[in-house]
Amino acid sequence: MNIPGSGILKGMAVTALNFVGSFLDRAHAKRLITEQYPEERPTLPEASRSFPFLIFDGNPETGIRCVACKICEKECPPQCIYIVQDKDANGKAIRRPKVFDIDISVCMGCQICVEVCPFESIRMDNIYEVSSYDRFSALVVSKDKLLKSNEYYHQIHPTEADATDARIEAARVKKTATAKAAAEKAAAAKAAAAAKAAEEKAAADQAAAATTTQPEQPAQ
Amino acid sequence: MNFLENLPLAAKKLVLDLVEAACKWACAKTGITLPDWGLSLILSLVSVLLVIVTIIVVYLVMFALMSVLERKILARMQNRYGPNRVGFFRWRLWGLLQPVADGIKMLTKEDIVPRGADKIVHFLAPIVMVAPALMLPAIIPYGRGMVPIELASGILYFFALGASTELAVFMAGWSSNNKYSVMGAMRAIAQMISYELPLIMSAVVVALVAGSLSPLKIVEAQGGSILNWFVCTPWGFVACLLFYISALAEANRCPFDLPEGESELVAGHLTEYSGFKYAIFFMAEYVGMFAINGMLVTLFLGGFNAPAPFLSFIPSWCWFFGKLAFLAFSMVWVRATLPRFRIDQMLQFAWKFMIPMSFASFLSAAAWCYSGNAALAWALSTVIVGVPYLVLGRFCFTRHHAVDNRRYLYSE
């Protein structure tokens, strides 16, 4: 039988359970799921992303992967990337950026720069405390702040970083193999040419200069 | 234990002795001869002032604590932390200094009076609100020998003063020159007058059984053990619940917070108030809530009596304030559980359920008093309150005039 007022008692029991449970729930599993932010930091999910950063291997001066090809600059939908290619002492352009700025007040985190980069050099960071009192210059992040090591990339996105490293490694292996094959081919061609030349020299007195292709330098 | 029991009285006596000594010293120093009646006049004035200051300080501290603990308890019931950051430099103190921050904020806000407002009434309303609220605690017995004013008709005084807050609410609503304020005030009047009846009726039940209107006599009638408390009888239990619900309504607490329903009426009669006057309204509301809870403790929960004789080593005033704290907690608990009434449901509940039930509890108490043996008294009074409860609970909230054959003019 439904006694009038029993619903109120049921509701009171629910709130009482919440009250007592919130003190007992030390693991914050079911109740009190609030993270008290400055003291407690969230463990971000691996796929979380905020703004792009540049990867270097080893030394930030020499190990920078970016070659200033400006594909990301062209592809960026809100146009927040600004790149100037570096030049050597003779004024000849070299494959390295002199200036690499990202205006993170404009960046929308779309990750298109990451998608288009052929050198695996730009990736998404997961920093989230980037607010500042100056809304112009402080939010334009320059190259020295953007450069972060490959180890850092492994820390924040381990799976993705492993995949990237495997891809680079595979490309390197493939490149070495083709270079090796090319070198072998060139050597064989040279040997054949030399043999042919000797044969020709021996057969007839026609001296001909054998043109040989230089073997390609294997990639480091 | 005797020391703790008598601590407040001993403190009062000490202060009075000090004042007396100071007066005599000053007289000797200046050469003025103070007549005996002059000294006794000074002493009685000081003793009255002491009581007043103590009451105000204790109630203001309770108000401050309640304002932060209410938010914390409510938060816990909703699986949140609540305010826990206001502290002292590095020390958080669980956010217990929140009322200090709130107070500073309130006092530094601009005091705005609308251009079209009736300025005098607008100014007077908070005063008319807070004065009776601060006078309410005067007749409540806080402990053995700790009744600020021993009135023979204390209950009458209490409810007469309590009813006068309605005037202040309507003054606030009317003088603000704001339609939401007036609507909130109208609702407040409707609500408070409707719930005044069951409130007083359930207090009259206790007066009937105890045979006195003096709060102290009523508390003494419930002495001994928990079995003698009026809440442990069928009529007392029902009257206690009725009193509690009416107290919720009188104190404008959830689920009866229609007068200031934020989601419907901006803030009712408080809409045009800001700064210190707003804080005064809130203070009056909370002091009134504590006072009416104190009256509930006095009438039904045995006042300052311990629940069992072996527990009487805990001072009587601790028992009183413990019961008061539990009731304050339960009001927050109710607030966390129940949603707000609709205005017609609220009035329906008052007139169709609360008032008949309070009459039933009155009859039940009469049966309890005048039936000879205990078993008959229990059976009779249980039946007299139980049957109306079941009948009213089942039938008074159903809509008999439900629209069944609705005709649509254009859509068919």
| pLDDT (tens digit per residue) in B360-376 | 999 998 888 888 788 88
- Strand ordering across the sheet containing A122-124: A122-124, A52-56, A147-149
Q: What is the CATH number of the domain that holds A62?
A: 3.30.70.3270
Q: Residues of A numbered 82-101 whose beta carbons fall under 8 angstroms of chain B's beta carbons: which are they?
A: none
- From A5's Cα to the closest Cα of chain B, the distance in A is 8
pLDDT at position B271 is 85
Predicted TM-score (pTM) of this structure: 0.78
Do the domain assignments include residue A70? yes
| Alpha carbon of residue B370 to chain centroid | 32
Cβ-Cβ contacts under 8 Å, A33 against chain B: 79
Residue B326's contacts (CB-CB under 8 Å, 6 or more residues apart) are: none
Indicate whether A220 pLDDT > 60: no
Looking at residues B144-148, what average pLDDT do you find? Answer: 83
CB neighbourhood size of B224 (10 A)? 14
pLDDT one-digit tens code per residue, B151-182: 888 899 999 888 888 888 889 888 988 888 88
CA–CA separation, B16 and A23 (whole Å): 46
Q: Cβ A3–B79 below 8 Å, yes or no?
A: no
The nearest alpha carbon in chain A to B79 belongs to: A32
CA–CA separation, B131 and B284 (whole Å): 8
Q: Cβ A19–B77 below 8 Å, yes or no?
A: yes
> What Rg value do the Cα atoms of chain B yield, rounded?
24
**Eight-class DSSP state of B302:** -
Provide the token pair at A157: 């996105």
The nearest alpha carbon in chain A to B331 belongs to: A12
Contact, B143 vs B315, CB < 8 A? yes
pLDDT one-digit tens code per residue, B79-100: 888 888 887 877 777 888 888 8
Looking at residues A120-137, what average pLDDT do you find? Answer: 87
Do the domain assignments include residue A74? yes
- Quick one: what percent of chain B has pLDDT higher than 70? 96
Residue B95, by phi and psi: left (phi above 0), alpha (psi -120 to 50) or beta? left
- Quote the ipTM score: 0.76
pLDDT at position B243 is 93
A158 at interface of B, judged by CB pairs closer than 8 A? no
At residue A219 the predicted structure's pLDDT band, cuts being 50, 70 and 90, is low
Cβ-Cβ contacts under 8 Å, A11 against chain B: 337-338
Q: Cβ A31–B338 below 8 Å, yes or no?
A: no
Lowest mean pLDDT among A62-76, A176-190, B120-134, B249-263: B249-263
pLDDT at position B258 is 75
Nearest to B287 by CA among B108, B129, B101: B129
Q: Where are the domains of chain B?
A: 2-99, 109-395
Do the domain assignments include residue A15? no
Indicate whether B256 pLDDT > 70: yes
Indicate whether A212 pLDDT > 60: no
Do the domain assignments include residue A5? no
A211 at interface of B, judged by CB pairs closer than 8 A? no
Helix (H, G, I), strand (E, B) or coil at A68: coil
Residue-wise burial string across B172-192, b where 16 or more C-beta atoms lie within 10 A, e elsewhere: bbbbbebebbbbbbbbbbbbb
Report, in this order, helix, strand and coil percent for chain B, each rounded to 5: 75, 0, 25
Q: Cβ B76–A12 below 8 Å, yes or no?
A: no
The nearest alpha carbon in chain A to B78 belongs to: A18
Among B71, B76, B332, B392, the strongest candidate for a mutation testing the A interface, having the largest count of A CBs within 10 A, is B76
Q: How many domains does chain A have?
A: 1
Beta partners for A101?
A: A82
- Residue A72: give the domain boundaries: 52-156
- From B51's Cα to the closest Cα of chain A, the distance in A is 37
